[in-house]
Structures are given as structure tokens and as C-alpha cells.
Amino acid sequence: MNGAGNSDCRKWEDVYLMLISNQNPAESIPIKGTLFLTDDGTKVGIHWVPHHDQDSSLSEEDRKGCEIDVRNMDFLIIRKTPFSPCRGVYLSLKSNATYGPFEFRSGGSSSFLQNLSSLADVRKCDDFENRYSVRPRPQINFQSNYHLPQHYVQNKRQFSSGVVGTPFSNQLGASLRNIGLHFNTFAQSILSPNLDENVAPDGTIEEYLTKGIAEDRQRIESTHLRTTDEGGFAVVERRPNPIYLPPLPNVHRSLPLNMNQWKKSLDPEGRVNRPESLREIIFNGGIEKDLRPIVWKYLLGYYQWTYTEEENERLRVEKSREYHTLKAFWKSMSPDREARFTLFRDRKCFIDKDVPRTDRKTDFYSDDNRGNLTRLSDILITYAIYNMDFGYFQGMNDLLALILYVVKDEEDSFWCFVGLMNRLESNFDGELNAVREQFNQLFSLIEIVDPAFSEYLEMKSAKEMPFCFRWLLIHFKREFSYNDTMVLWEVIWTDYRTKNFHIFFAAAVLLMQRDNIMNKKYDANSILKHVNELSMKFH
């Protein structure tokens, strides 16, 4: 929502209010108008204004339009209107009054729903396929921070000069090695509580986690209750019990999955035997560079582990044909048709703005002489056609950039991207419910592992963790070099220990900054600034 004093107005032209006859629905009267969605900082409104050139036989009531305060809404329904190929939006209020259907003859019903979802709490109902409950959205702290930076120059990005052609032995940069060491130690202590006590601990980490945190817990246990005031009543909550970590072992990364291991895992027909064993190898060591384009297709659900080589090849040919059909659909649009296809035109405009700013400091995207920026754009636009209900949001260009860099082939990159978006699509919804849930999980993890730090974050009004938004939205893509991000992503995709590895990883990274944040007494905004400045500087 916009802050007080700001305003936001979005409109859809050629939206027809259909006056449907109860006696004969086929004789519906269409009234042409413009639909507006407004946000003045205090309320969200839906306005339909009819065009002046209407049939004079219409009543004054039918020609005056309508204005709806979203706070009074109960639900909306999107479905085809009777005897029409177009979709209409039906609005229902808590008073049982109804408006519509509003027929989007030039397209845009999905865009309307998407934009409304960014301003109000819109949720799909389980009992009806096309019904959505609508509630006003409560104010969220740090709302202005729920956006990726618009200009890459603000990120002070510094990519390593040896991205292309670097042997895998040099591929794991110092940043991921150090963070991997901290994380593996941290995660294994949580996921595997019965560790061998004879393993020599890392003195630095042990001192931090066994001495410093132990002292914090002793102090906090005496004040383990927290009190909040709600409506004049004191609400007492008990904090989660901290877990007592055993001495932490020094954990090293294993060797990456290599071509010899991969070939040995295949049966005579090319099926992958025991994919879980391969997931474990990848989780502990990653994948060698030359093998990565093959294995990523499996990890992202494009190729099937149980298919023979011949079956996966048939799948590839079929999917390639499907991709080119989708691409030809929008490539063949005339300028006039594109101008009338509002939803597509707007999404294409966003993509056209974002692609030229994508990773231009890497050789692969430094210019378009090799067509890589064009392929990046074509895949994103084709995906917006493939997943019309979802479309495109900023940040998706970051995700695709690395996939295209690894996979190279345009068609295969598209379907790998589809697989990745199947995992991450909920991160980009207008309500941010999935991201909020990850914030909650991350804070709960910090609260259990490091009570003093969680108490500090809560005291500084940073419990909502908005400074981790970019980390979780695009899985650290802007925080590490290409090489390090590749390893991190393939580890996440294994789902080997947990489907929430990125939450544990984020906790480990944040705990590395714990002393710096607390010693300098950073408030929430200072933490946000500090975290953003860490991009490409993790060591």
C-alpha cells in the first residue's frame, strides 16, 4: 500500500458492464466503460466509469457508473460471461450487493486480479474454482523495501573475472567455502543432534556458539516470558525453548559429482539408478562444470529420472516443438494486435526494461553480439505467454540469467526455467504470503538457536526480517558470484536434507553478521543497509 499522501491509479479501458436479462441472458446489454483501481493511501477503491456515448434508452441508474470501497467487499468471481467468449469479473459486497459482470473484451481480467492482489488481501477460495475472497490488507512495516533495486549500479556488483572456463577445483570461491563451513556446522548440529563427541570442533565457531550463546541463554532463561499489550490487556507469551548445541565439528565440502560417477549411475537404457545417492553427492559437493547442464535438467524436473535416454530425448523434441509454438504466437503479433493486448503489452514492456540491465558485467551478457540478451528476453516473454495467469515480475530475469548461462540452449533453458518457477512462483505473488512465511521461519530458527540475537531484532522492530527479502526471493543470486550461486542452487534443488535449505543457509549467513549488527547497535533500517552492502563481499 502507498503511504498516506501518495496515490496510485491503474485503469483498464473497454471494460463492459453487462446488464443481463433475467428472462433471456442472451439479450444482455453491454455498457462500455473504463475500470479504475485506486489507492490513495487510506483505502483501495474500484471504480467503473461508463463512456459518454451510450444508448440514450439506458436509464440514468445504468449510466452513472459505480464506486466500491474494497473494505466493503466479500469476494469476487472471474469466469466467462453467458453467451460470450470473454471473461467477466463479478464483485460481491458484504451487504450481499453485487456488481457486474465486468467483461474485459480486450483482455486484462488476470491483470486486474494481479493488481488488486498487490493492494488488498486476495485469496483463492478452496470451495469454488474461480472465487477469491477480498479483504483490505493490513499495513506492513518496511513496505518500501519489498522491491528489488531498480538499477544494478546501486548494487555495486563485482563479478569474478574468471567466470568462464574456470576449472572446478578453483570454482568454489572463498566466500562460499567459508559460509559452507559455517552452515554445514550449524545445520548438522540441528539436523543431526547425536554427533560424535570426539570430532575436533572448530575453535572459533565453538567459542561463538558454545560460550557466547550459552551465556545469552542463561541470561534469557530468567526472562523467558514476553509480554505484549493488546486492547488494554497484558498478553503473556512464552518464548521457544532454546536448543543446546553440542560441540560443533569442522565440516568440509566433498568432491563434486563427476562424469564418471554420473555414467556409472545409468542403467543400460539410460535410466538413473538411485537418484537419492546422487542427490547426496550433489548436496555435499555440487556438480562438475561440464556435467552441470545435464544434471540441472533432472534437478529442475525437465528430464525424468525414471525415463530412458530415448524417452527423455523424445520429451526434449516434444518440448522444443511446444516452446517454438508458444514463441511463434507472440512473435507473429502485428503492432495493432499487440497494442490491443494490454496484459501482454505491459508485461513485454517490463521485460524490455529489465533485460538490458541484467548482469551486464559478465562476459556472457556484456553485449548482444552472441544473442544472449535476445534469448533471455525471448524466453521471459514466452514464459509470460506460457503462464499467462502469472506473467512476469522483476527478479525472474535474475533467475533465468544463470540458467541460460549454464544450459546455453534456448529451448532447454526455457523448460529448466519453468521447473525453477514451479519451485519459486509463490515468492512473486502480489500478497507476499510465501515470503512472509519464510521470514517467520527464519526468525523462529534464529529465536531457537540464538535467543539473544532474536531478542535484539525484536527490540529493534526487525522481527519481520525485511532485510532478507532479496536473499529469499531469488535465492542469493545477487549476493554471490555466478560460480558460488551455481553450487548453492544445486544444493538447494536436491531437497536432500530439507526442502528449506535456503532458510538454514540464510540463518547461517545472518549469524555471521550477528556480532557486527549488535555491537554497532544497528536498527532495522541500518541492518537493511548493511545487508545490501554485503552483496558480492561475503568472505
Do 80 and 88 touch, CB atoms closer than 8 A?
Answer: yes
**Whole-number pLDDT of residue 60:** 66
Q: Is the pLDDT of residue 222 over 60?
A: no
Mean pLDDT (whole number) for 360-386 = 95
Give the pLDDT band (50/70/90) at residue 377. Answer: very high
Give the pLDDT band (50/70/90) at residue 180. Answer: very low
**Whole-number pLDDT of residue 193:** 32
Per-residue pLDDT tens digits for 271-282: 999 999 999 999
**Whole-number pLDDT of residue 382:** 97
Domains and CATH numbers, the chain: 8-139 (2.30.29.230), 169-253+430-533 (no CATH), 259-428 (1.10.8.270)
Best mean pLDDT range from 115-129, 248-262, 291-305, 457-471? 291-305
Angle between helices 482-493 and 275-285 (to 10 degrees): 150
189: cell is: 548440529
Compute how many other C-beta atoms are within 10 angstroms of the C-beta atom of residue 258. 16
Could you give the CA distance from residue 58 to residue 55 in angstroms, rounded to a whole number? 6
Helix or strand run (H / E) with residue 275: helix 275-285
Give the DSSP letter of residue 208.
Answer: I
HSE-CB at 222 with a 13 A cutoff on CA atoms is 4
Per-residue pLDDT tens digits for 68-82: 999 999 999 988 776
Torsional sign, CA 520, 524, 526, 529:
positive
Least confidently predicted of 41-45, 170-174, 467-471: 170-174
Q: Is the pLDDT of residue 350 over 60?
A: yes
Q: Is the pLDDT of residue 292 over 80?
A: yes
Mean pLDDT (whole number) for 461-484 = 93
Nearest to 438 by CA among 476, 405, 406, 408: 476
Parallel/antiparallel/unpaired status of strands 8-19 and 29-39: antiparallel
Quick check: helix, strand or coil at residue 131? strand
**Whole-number pLDDT of residue 471:** 95
Omega before 246 cis (within 30°)?
no
475: cell is: 535465492
Q: What is the dihedral of CA 42, 46, 49, 50, to 10 degrees?
A: -170
Give the pLDDT band (50/70/90) at residue 356. Answer: very high
Do 18 and 103 touch, CB atoms closer than 8 A?
Answer: yes
Could you give the CA distance from residue 41 to residue 56 in angstroms, rounded to a whole number? 37
**Whole-number pLDDT of residue 189:** 38
Per-residue pLDDT tens digits for 226-272: 545 444 444 455 565 666 667 767 888 999 999 999 999 999 999 99
* Cα distance between the two ends of the chain: 37
Per-residue pLDDT tens digits for 19-53: 765 555 455 678 888 888 988 777 889 998 887 66
**Whole-number pLDDT of residue 291:** 98
Mean pLDDT (whole number) for 316-336 = 94
Least confidently predicted of 27-41, 96-110, 398-412, 413-427: 27-41
Q: Give the CA distances from residue 337 to residues 73, 78, 329, 332, 345, in Å, rounded to whole numbers and listed in that order.
A: 34, 24, 12, 10, 10
Please tell me whether the overall predicted TM-score, pTM, comes out greater than 0.75 for this model: no
Which residues are CB-contacts of 353 (< 8 A; sequence separation ≥ 6)? none
Give the pLDDT band (50/70/90) at residue 58. Answer: low
Give the pLDDT band (50/70/90) at residue 62. Answer: low
Give the pLDDT band (50/70/90) at residue 207. Answer: very low
**Whole-number pLDDT of residue 56:** 60
Give the pLDDT band (50/70/90) at residue 352. Answer: very high
Q: Is the pLDDT of residue 173 over 70?
A: no
